[in-house]
Structure 1
Amino acid sequence: MVRAWYMDNDSSDQREEHHRNPPKIISLSDLHAVSGVEYFKLNVESYDTDGILEKLKKSRGYTYEDEITCSKECLPNYEEKLKSFFQEHLHTDEEIRFVVDGSGYFDVRDKNDEWIRIEVIPGDLIIIPSGIYHRFTLDTKNYIRAKRLFIGEPVWTPYNRPVDEMDCRKEYLKKLENGEFNSA
């Protein structure tokens, strides 16, 4: 089961847990309400045959998928890539990741612009909405293998903060303001 918590402002080592002391854990329903991030738990052993992922792909219109492995051995320019993933940014499309092996952290900004860290492990599928500021890093294990899902052709373009005038950012903020993420 995914864990999420509010971070403190000390991020000297991005791969550590970093949480307030004491930690302020956030439930999945509250995470969705304050950020729009959606969570699904899949069985890593049976996701390719149980039909749950296929049903989700069909209902959301995901037509393309690939797989990425982030590790020193598998990712060219490893340290540079991790730095770019950790740079606060947004995308014009949803970011969908299904963790097949390994672990890491997605950090997202809530409606008050505070960081929430989401720990992902095998079986976790998260959907980060278009227009939300976020970043990704590995944990201290330095390894994750994940499926990436897309609607249509893949778009990996990150737009580094600040890009508040982009349409996707304005639409995202409007959804937050209107409470559109309050019900799953």
Structure 2
Amino acid sequence: MAVLEAWYMDESTDDQRLHHKLQPDQPVSLEELKEVGVLYWKLNADIYEDDPALQKIRKERGYSYMDIITIHPDKLPNYEDKLKMFYEEHLHLDDEIRYILEGRAYFDVRDKNDRWIRIAMAKGDLITLPAGIYHRFTLDETNYTKAMRLFVGEPVWKAYNRPADDFEIRQQYVDLLQRS
């Protein structure tokens, strides 16, 4: 199974769906992602409905709510507007948990020095972004992903665009980064 790929991004403002790798490439390891609070699992998306590994993660982490979203121009109303909204730098007051069932997508997160790290998500990738981390989301050039969204308790869809440093959860996240 392929392992998650992540890298530091270039400063280009070209199409957000492109790789945006620095030249030379500066890969980011799973351990480095963990240092900024990003957790990762590789699962078998072909059996997501009855996958014991997914059920175990959901039980251990309290992911009680789940739904599935398909992001594609033909499947998501107001596709272009939604993609622009997802790509605005923001944070949430709760963890963001996403499991790619089909297709591909990118999550971009900030490191301790406020540099962008791009995380390339593909079928079978499950990540958790911690509450308070600045991030954004986009598709790649295929313009398609089907993803499971997981939540602890009732889903909360509210995003707070940067700057959102006054939230207590942001301060807790920054404190956690400074300790690691």
Taking structure 1 as the reference length, the TM-score comes to 0.95
1:15 corresponds, among 14, 17, 20, to 17
Q: What CA distance in whole angstroms lies between the structure 2 residues aligned with 1:30 and 1:143? A: 27
Does residue 156 (structure 1) correspond to residue 162 (structure 2)? The answer is no
**1:130 Cα deviation from its structure 2 partner:** 0.3
Q: Which runs of 4+ in 1 moved over 3 A?
A: none
1:3 corresponds, among 5, 23, 37, to 5
Q: What CA distance in whole angstroms lies between the structure 1 residues aligned with 2:80 and 2:134? A: 21
Question: One-letter code of the match for 2:177?
Answer: L
**1:13 Cα deviation from its structure 2 partner:** 1.0
Instruction: Indicate the SS of the match to 2:149.
Output: strand
Q: What CA distance in whole angstroms lies between the structure 2 residues aligned with 1:110 and 1:40? A: 20
What residue is the counterpart of 1:130 in the other structure? 131
**1:111 Cα deviation from its structure 2 partner:** 0.7
Structure 1 portions without partners, runs of 5+: 180-184
What residue is the counterpart of 2:47 in the other structure? 46
Question: One-letter code of the match for 2:30?
Answer: L
CA contact (8 A) 1:11 1:18 kept: no
**1:12 Cα deviation from its structure 2 partner:** 2.0
Q: What CA distance in whole angstroms lies between the structure 1 residues aligned with 2:37 and 2:13? A: 23
Task: Spell out the pairing of 1:19-168 with structure 2 (5 A cutoff).
Answer: 19-33=21-35, 35-168=36-169
Q: What CA distance in whole angstroms lies between the structure 1 residues aligned with 2:151 and 2:6? A: 24
CA contact (8 A) 1:71 1:78 kept: yes
**1:45 Cα deviation from its structure 2 partner:** 2.1
CA contact (8 A) 1:15 1:139 kept: yes
Instruction: Indicate the SS of the match to 1:149.
Output: strand
Name the % identity.
53
Structure 2 portions without partners, runs of 5+: none
**1:2 Cα deviation from its structure 2 partner:** 1.2
Q: What CA distance in whole angstroms lies between the structure 1 residues aligned with 2:92 and 2:30? A: 22
Taking structure 2 as the reference length, the TM-score comes to 0.97
**1:44 Cα deviation from its structure 2 partner:** 1.4
CA contact (8 A) 2:46 2:101 kept: no
Instruction: Indicate the SS of the match to 2:56.
Output: helix
Instruction: Indicate the SS of the match to 2:18.
Output: coil
